Amino acid sequence: MTAELIDAVAGGGWTLAVMFALVLLDAVIVVVPGEIAVSALGSLAVTTGSPPLPAVIAVAAVAAFTGDALCYTIGRRIGLDRWRWMRARRVRAALAWAAGRLDRGTATVVFTARFVPFARLAVNLTAGATRVPAPRYLTVCAIAAGAWAAYQAVVGAAVGALLPEAPLAAVVVSVAVALLLGVGIDLAVGQWARRRTPE
């Protein structure tokens, strides 16, 4: 039964579409498990052969870029204080952080923020609201989205390669590893930002 379920998920034509939707939503609603979906499918790509790993990476990259571009557009059209949640103290602090970082180096902050959910949202909204030129910003977003997608999928694929005979275990372990790496990256970026912020 478990093997049949894994085969149905891995071989289903809808699998990549669901991952696309999760990654796209993750750009706007940061609690949606986009990273987990990419890592899980990366693991299945190795343990079952389906969906193909290059397809997982390509679809995840397009979804991530589309989500980032959507957030940029929301920031550009709506600004940073239209909705009540945007005026919350922590959100205002994140937006102020993003504005300061964008002033110092767009590419660095976009690449860093792509791996940290709340930072990603803040940077994309702020870039749109502060009118960072779209061609330059979206080009950097596209490259960052590709790097992020490859990273997430390869994490899952690496776990899948270690557990080739146990696809379900590989998916579970790859999700756990992706979560731990995400928390680690988040903590490292937070420490780095605190060191660089003047007292």
How does pLDDT run across 112-147, given as a tens digit for each residue?
Answer: 778 877 778 888 888 888 888 888 889 989 999 999
pLDDT of 193 above 80: no
- Mean pLDDT, to the nearest integer, of 22-31? 88
Q: Report the alpha-carbon distance of residue 115 to residue 101 in Å, rounded.
A: 15
pLDDT digits (tens, 9 = 90+) for 142-183: 999 999 999 889 888 888 887 666 656 666 676 676 667 656
Q: Which residue did the predictor score with more confidence, 32 or 85?
A: 32
The pLDDT of residue 66 is 96
The pLDDT of residue 5 is 46
Rounded (to 5) percent helix, strand, coil in the chain: 85, 0, 15
The pLDDT of residue 110 is 82
The pLDDT of residue 196 is 55
Residue pair 75/96 in contact (Cβ under 8 Å)? The answer is no
The pLDDT of residue 199 is 45
Q: Which domain holds residue 72?
A: 2-192
Q: Report the alpha-carbon distance of residue 132 to residue 124 in Å, rounded.
A: 10
Does 120 fall in a domain?
yes
Q: Which residue did the predictor score with more confidence, 42 or 107?
A: 42
Q: Report the alpha-carbon distance of residue 118 to residue 18 in Å, rounded.
A: 22
Does 155 fall in a domain?
yes
Does the pTM exceed 0.75? yes
Does 14 fall in a domain?
yes
Q: Rounded to the nearest 5 degrees, what angle is found at the Cα of 169, between the Cα atoms of 167 and 175?
A: 100
Burial of 189 (0-12, 13-18, 19+ CB in 10 A): middle
- From 128, 124, 93, 133, select the one nearest 30 (Cα to Cα): 124
Average pLDDT, whole number, for the chain? 77
Does 57 fall in a domain?
yes
pLDDT digits (tens, 9 = 90+) for 68-81: 999 999 988 886 66
Does 198 fall in a domain?
no
Q: Which residue did the predictor score with more confidence, 165 or 36?
A: 36
- The number of folded domains in the chain is 1
The pLDDT of residue 142 is 94
The pLDDT of residue 160 is 81
**DSSP class of residue 84?**
G
Does 186 fall in a domain?
yes
